[in-house]
């Protein structure tokens, strides 16, 4: 049976908010909240924090999780998360596991969300899964011409336009198949719905204020 592990990426330098992963969020560094939620799910057998920052790695050790020193060449502003995931899989030989990959910048989540999402992942024999929330937007894609996600000649009520927003709170995927695809989403893809109030990612000070307001 495949072991379930969690992989948390915490880069030292960050855009928008300086040292974002360690910013104070209700008396604790931001990364604390995601690691606490992971620890609450007993299906997850081990938690790894990958970072290029000594401060982050030292704090992760205080939380009794495993650490992975990430090379600087895959820790800059242009680096893809997939590069860091691949590095962690190879470094710790995680190529036969199920990986839970949460984003630290989404500190608010429903209770027991990781365990519940893992049950959906296993029950439906999925290869990969993303967290999502329903949105009712009139969306347009600009290619050679504008393409809408609804029939503008027969405009529906906005509430009847159902689109899934990949909110980035977390992903789950098979590590062996990830190595082949080098992408967090592949094969049989599923989603796990969470409420809109849990979908606000922290990129800047305004996002931080929104999350603090919602947590209150």
Does the residue 13 lie in any domain? yes
Q: What is the CATH number of the domain that holds 104?
A: 3.90.550.10
- Identified catalytic residue from 11, 70, 109, 155: 155
Instruction: Domain of residue 37: give its range.
Output: 4-133+165-215
Q: Write down the residue that tokens 């495949």 correspond to.
A: 2
Does the residue 86 lie in any domain? yes
Per-residue pLDDT of the chain (216 residues; tens, 9 = 90+): 689 999 999 988 777 688 899 999 999 999 999 999 999 999 999 999 999 999 999 999 999 999 999 998 888 777 899 999 999 999 999 888 899 999 999 999 999 999 999 999 999 999 999 999 998 888 888 888 898 888 888 888 888 888 899 999 999 999 999 999 999 999 999 999 999 999 999 988 899 998 989 988
Does the residue 35 lie in any domain? yes
Looking at the 3D structure of the chain, how many domains does it have?
A: 1
Does the residue 154 lie in any domain? no
Does the residue 10 lie in any domain? yes
Q: What is the CA radius of gyration of the chain?
A: 18
pTM above 0.85, yes or no: yes
Closest CA to 97 of 40, 173, 42, 169: 173
Specify whether 155 is catalytic.
yes
Does the residue 157 lie in any domain? no
């Amino acid at each position: 049976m495949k072991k379930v592990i969690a992989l948390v990426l915490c880069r030292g330098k960050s855009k928008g908010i300086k040292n974002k992963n360690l910013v104070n969020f209700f008396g604790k560094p931001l990364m604390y909240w995601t690691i606490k939620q992971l620890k609450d799910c007993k299906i997850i057998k081990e938690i790894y924090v990958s970072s290029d920052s000594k401060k982050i790695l030292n704090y992760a050790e205080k939380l009794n999780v495993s650490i992975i020193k990430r090379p600087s060449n895959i820790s800059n502003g242009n680096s893809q998360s997939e590069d860091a995931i691949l590095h962690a899989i190879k470094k710790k030989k995680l190529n036969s596991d199920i990986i839970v990959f949460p984003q630290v910048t989404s500190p608010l989540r429903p209770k027991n969300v990781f365990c519940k999402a893992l049950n959906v992942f296993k029950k439906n024999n999925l290869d990969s899964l993303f967290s999502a929330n329903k949105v009712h937007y009139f969306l347009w894609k600009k290619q050679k011409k504008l393409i809408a996600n609804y029939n503008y000649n027969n405009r529906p009520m906005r509430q009847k336009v159902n689109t899934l927003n990949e909110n980035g709170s977390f992903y789950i995927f098979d590590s062996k198949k990830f190595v082949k695809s080098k992408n967090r989403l592949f094969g049989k893809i599923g989603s796990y719905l969470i409420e809109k109030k849990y979908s606000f990612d922290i990129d800047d000070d305004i996002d931080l204020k929104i999350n603090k307001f919602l947590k209150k």
